[in-house]
Amino acid sequence: MKAFAVLWKKELTGYFFSPIAYVVAVFFLASIGLIFSLLVSILAEGPAGISIMNLLFGSPFYWMSMLVLAPVLTMRLLAEEKKSGTIETLLTAPITDAQVVLAKFLGAICFYAFLWLPTGLFLLILRYFSVDMAPLDLGAVAGGYLGALLVGMLYLSIGLLCSALTSNQIIAAVCSFAVLLILFLAGLVEQIARDSAVRAVSSYISSYVHMLEFSRGVIDSRPIVFYLSSTALVLFATVKVVESRTWK
């Protein structure tokens, strides 16, 4: 367990020394900040009956940055270790393969959560300027952040799996971007499909629909189960891929 904690800490601090992580953080914050300032300019023009969180998480900017963020944050995790050969050292250390994968995953999740921290300032700005009107709906805010965390878990785990499959970071990033894009678009099929079964499946896996619901403050057990179970499945597959190094 101690070895796991050490590894996790090393993974997390690794982000803070990685230039690409800073590039991602700047890109992410700039796009979220842009959405937010657009929102503020709309609300300053006149009252609007729209939910702030809904607009934030339904915006194409948000989804664009999510689809880029997850592959870039995870691409080097296993691919780099494979390429440089350090994976052999890591896997012969007194720690199981599952612990290695989990430590890397948790490191990525923690860094992802860290990226969201500055957005707390946005809420303070809204609170400061919204006078004589309904204060911020904290239920919707909490739902929005919960949804962002769940979606982030699945997306990062997919990135990790792609990173385990190859020793080339660029291939890992492109693969996970492609998978995430397909997953995301499959969720949008709901809007155009005619067949009710296709629509039901599509809306069940649609991150876009889920985020809109979470950011309205609607907490549903189905998307939560979907994200937790599919993240677990992807991580399990990742462990199996890592184990395949020893099949000799």
What residues make contact with another protein under the rule CB under 8 A?
A: 16-17, 19, 21-23, 25-27, 29-30, 32-34, 36-37, 40-41, 43-44, 46-50, 52, 118, 121-122, 125-126, 129-131, 133-134, 137-140, 142-143, 196, 204, 216-222, 225-226, 229-230, 232-233, 236-237, 240, 243-244, 247-248
Contact of 213 with 57, CB cutoff 8 Å: no
**Angle CA(181)–CA(184)–CA(190) in degrees, nearest 5?**
140
Provide the sign of the torsion angle of the four alpha carbons 78, 80, 83, 86, taken in this order.
negative
CA distance 242 to 84: 15
Token pair in block for residue 210: 């889920």
CA distance 7 to 108: 12
> Is residue 1 packed enough to be buried (19+ CB in 10 Å), middle (13-18) or exposed (0-12)?
exposed
57 vs 54, 173, 213, 232, CA distance in Å?
5, 23, 10, 24
CA distance 205 to 116: 23
